[in-house]
Amino acid sequence: MSLEPKNQVRNEKNILQFILFFTLSLFVLLLVSGFLEIDNSSSNETVERPSLTENKEPQIFGLSGSAYTFDTHIIKQNQFLGEILSDYEISFKKVNQLVQSTKEIFSVRSFRANKPIVFARPDECSPPEFMFYEIDKLTYVKYHFEENGVNVEKVVKPFEVCENEAHGIIKSSLSDAMDASGLGMSLVSKMEDALASSVDFYHIQKNDEFKLVFEEIYIDGELAAYGDVLGAFYKNEQGEHYSLFFENDKYSGFYDFEGRPTKGAFLRAPVKFSRISSRFNRNRFHPIKKRRIPHLGTDYAAPTGTPIFSVSDGVVTAVSRTKNNGKYVKIRHDKTYETQYLHMNGFAKGIKKGVKVKQGQTIGFVGMTGLATGPHVCFRFWKNGKQCNHLRENFPPADPLPESDMPQFLNQAQIIKSALDNITRNHILSDSSSLGIDNNQL
């Protein structure tokens, strides 16, 4: 009997066992390697978890991005809203309803050229159901075209507020330095408000130092605006100046560490972001009349259209125009003090004789009406009926907070002061190094 068939069967069986063993070994090896790889990644790397909002449907002005068709129209110069809406098949009746219903919320006269209007339609063949206009990065107006009219509402976008801090050494002007550092002019304005009466920002010196604790407002993870300044510190030749924000059910504003309001009875200047182009001088050579005439005011140069503020509470006594003074406003603040603002380009809405105004309220806009060589406001100051140099006046300090509110104030102020004192110069922005600005986390 031949053994060949048996050997052949045995050989085939061995080959099958080898293949099976090799396959199992390979599978186990791959499986173990996989587990090792997962284990290594979890021990050495941070596992990135998907955002809870990743799978959410995109929202545009609070509407479903897939349920509507969105069109954007850029407003042209001198273009009427009715003309735009007629192109989108909005009837004249609806246009009139829109104009009337929005007067108290946001007038369509405030629409600006080169800004977008966004329309939302249920489909490409239907007229718009909604219209949106962004007032700023935080706020927009929503117009809902309904069967019986137009529903209008002002909407604030969902936002987050974070605290941040900044620190700098002045090598040029404060506004140039902060602008170069990327902090923005609006934050300069807030800082000037906080330190309005304790720091003369028209006499900033090289190596002056400032610190800030402030809020930043974020929308969808991007910086949209600056919030409140919570604390400000400024060091110059006159010493160290603190301004700490405090608010309760009776008081709200900036105070020094003694509980006195940092904003005095009078602002130091009627405009922001300006420079003194001509000072109070009884022997000044007039640039137009070419002879010496007393200059009984202080000139603040600023671009045409810059808002002019009342430096204190008061009552408007004159809104007029003369050949030399141009358009001007005069205000009586009390029995002792009056102020006048000359060469205006125009008056603010509602400013007329007999109207009460508040400190910091816009009363007009910088211009060059009357005898003027460039846009500026000539600020004049009366004390007991005589014109004087307001920059040399020593006004009495404001009354501090009542004793009953001091414990609450000191508790809150100490937290802000500690935050200011702990700010260090650890992070220097490359684009501001030429001006000596260095900021933390900015």
Q: Token pair for residue 100?
A: 């009337």
Least Cα distance to 255 among 93, 138, 134, 406 occurs for 406
Q: Token pair for residue 19?
A: 């293949």
Q: What is the pLDDT of residue 3?
A: 44
Least Cα distance to 195 among 237, 249, 245, 251 occurs for 245
For each of the domains in the chain, give its residue range(s) and CATH number, in order of start: 59-156 (3.10.450.350), 160-264+398-438 (3.10.450.350), 275-392 (2.70.70.10)
Q: What is the pLDDT of residue 16?
A: 54
Q: List per-block mean pLDDT (blocks of 10 residues) for the chain, which spans 442 residues.
A: 47 57 54 39 35 57 86 91 88 86 86 92 89 92 89 92 88 69 77 81 83 91 90 91 90 87 84 80 67 81 93 94 94 94 95 94 95 91 91 79 91 92 59 33 33
Q: What is the pLDDT of residue 39?
A: 35
Asked if 353 contacts 385 with a C-beta cutoff of 8 angstroms, the reply is no
Distance of CA 395 to CAs 45, 169, 197, 266, 331, Å? 63, 29, 10, 8, 18
Residue 192 burial by Cβ neighbours in a 10 Å radius (0-12, 13-18, 19+): buried
Q: What is the pLDDT of residue 368?
A: 94
